A and B are shown apart, each in its own frame.
Chain A
Amino acid sequence: MTGLMISLADAVAMIPDGARIMIGGFLGVGTPHRLIGELVRQRRRGLTIIANDTARPHFGIGRLIDEKLIKKLIVTHIGTNPETQRQMIAGDIEVELCPQGTLAERIRAAGYGLGGVLTPTGVGTLASEGKRALEIDGRTFLLEPPLKADFALIGAHRADYCGNLAYFLTARNFNPIMAMAADMVIVEPHEIVPVGVIGPDEVVTPHILVDYLIEREHHHG
């Protein structure tokens, strides 16, 4: 099991302009902040970002907004970032708003090999525009298509030497499902520990899903 480790710079060098990227996190909690910083440093442009939100200016995905590196957003909420709203109103960013549970299920559908999901959420609202409605046992559901990406940037608490991942409290959020739904999965863990430290029952994301682990920052010389 070798070849998992990669430097921050080399990892982002694999991501082209215009890439479609899922980024884990919820208002910056569980977000891979170093990878975002490196996307900014290497000036990746025209990105399509799939995420829960755009955090706030100068923080988390908000940094990609600050630098105008995003072409399209598929998110559930932008209320915490006035700059995202400003760019949307100015026509600089295309924003597709998706109910949070629906976003999660669309990502899961892609990762689990499903052709979409049927959800009652959004029926009769603006979220149903352009969607097929189906009636099942007398209830109306919307057919929501799966959502895939070229890259998933994952924030994890722990990775082991194989690439098994565990998360911490509310930093889990979208990370495990995104790790299933992208062609290449790049993980920014807080700790990298020997195999066995994360017991089989504590592994949330199995190692076979992980392509690369970002090297840690070294604080001890």
Chain B
Amino acid sequence: MDDKILIATRVARELHDGALVNLGIGLPTLVAKYLPAGVEVFFQSENGLIGMAPVPEAGMEDEYLTDAGGGHIGAIPGSCSFDSCLSFGLIRGGHLDVTVLGGLQVDEAGHLANWMVPGKMVPGMGGAMDLVTGAKRVIVAMTHKAKTGSKIVERCTMPLTALRRVDLVVTELAVIEPTADGLMLKEVAPGVTPAQVAAATAAKLLIPKSVPEMTLAT
């Protein structure tokens, strides 16, 4: 299975029926395609919509119905649109059940850095700081390693997105839960050993005696 599809499939299993969910641009957007059967969630797009859906058919795109990356979307029956204040009120005010975001680094404190690489890339934080601060549950969906090394580190060297401890990190190798005691290895990907995860991680991992394999069937 492709790494990104594996990550998206595993993250999708975290979403419960009826939840309000915000997916970041890039890898997290894939999660919508891999929802388990029977689970219906509402996707929020922070530019002002609840009820985001794929465009039903080529040619039905509307230039005023777009996601937070500017891409064309559709909308489910019951969708609603609103301004940026209300959209971020939903995010900050504790009304958003889950946000799934990409990451550059996650550290032992569960801190996430995902909005700039000093000296190289300064895209800006967009909605990321509000999402990580305000969502009830924050899931980081990212590859375990970057070209420069592990993305799971002792302490983030890139600027933080928030001080809030993220709730779950899903990579192509593992599911890791940041806790008050540190990073707990919860699951490994099929065919991957805890030792292999530890070797690919530049932070201390708490490894229980038995670590189950990820369930990916939908």
Measured CB to CB, the residues of A under 8 A from B are 26-30, 52-53, 55, 75-80, 85, 88-89, 97, 99-105, 108, 119-127, 157, 167-177, 204
- Residue B122 contacts which of A28, A80, A85, A104 (CB distance < 8 angstroms)? A85
Q: Which residues of A contact B124 (CB under 8 A)?
A: 53, 75-79, 97
- Whether A27 lies near B69 (C-beta < 8 A) is yes
Alpha-carbon separation in the docked complex, A125 to B134 (Å): 15
Known: A76-B127, A127-B125. 13 other contacts (CB 8 A): A78-B122, A79-B126, A99-B129, A100-B84, A100-B88, A100-B126, A101-B87, A102-B129, A104-B83, A125-B161, A125-B162, A176-B83, A177-B85
Partner of B129, one of A26, A127, A170: A127
Q: Which residue of A lies closest to B161 (CB)?
A: A125
**Complex formed: what's the CA distance from A152 to B87 in Å?**
21
A77 to chain B, nearest CB (A): 4
Report yes or no: A170 in contact with B88, Cβ–Cβ below 8 A. Answer: no
Whether A104 touches B64, Cβ cut-off 8 Å, given contacts A77-B123, A173-B83, is no
Q: How far is the CA of A125 from the CA of B159 in the complex (A)?
A: 7
With contact pairs A26-B47, A105-B85, A125-B160 given, residues A169 and B65 touching in the complex (Cβ less than 8 Å)? yes
Does any Cβ of A come within 8 Å of B54's Cβ? no
With contacts A76-B126, A170-B65, A172-B83 taken as known, whether A121 is within 8 angstroms of B48 at the C-beta atoms is: no
Residues of B near A105 (CB, < 8 A) are 85, 88
Q: In angstroms, how far is the closest chain A Cβ from the Cβ of B159? A: 5
Q: CA of A99 to CA of B162 in the docked complex: distance in angstroms?
A: 11
> In the complex where A102-B130, A124-B162 touch, is A27 in contact with B122 (Cβ < 8 A)?
no
**CA A120 to CA B169, docked complex, whole Å:** 23
- Pairs of residues from A and B, 10 with the lowest C-beta to C-beta distance, nearest first: A79-B123, A101-B88, A27-B70, A101-B130, A124-B163, A77-B126, A77-B124, A171-B64, A104-B84, A99-B129
Given A101-B91, A175-B83: A29 touches B47 (CB 8 Å cut-off):
yes
Q: Which chain A residue lies CB-closest to B81? A: A169
> Would you list which residues of chain B between 82 and 110 have a CB under 8 Å from chain A?
82-85, 87-89, 91-92
Chain B residues with CB under 8 A of A100: 46, 84, 88, 125-127, 130
- B66 located at the interface, meaning its Cβ lies under 8 Å from any Cβ of chain A in the complex: yes
A99 to B65, CA, bound (A): 23
Q: Report the separation of the CA atoms of residues A199 and B70 in the bound assembly, to the nearest whole angstrom.
A: 30
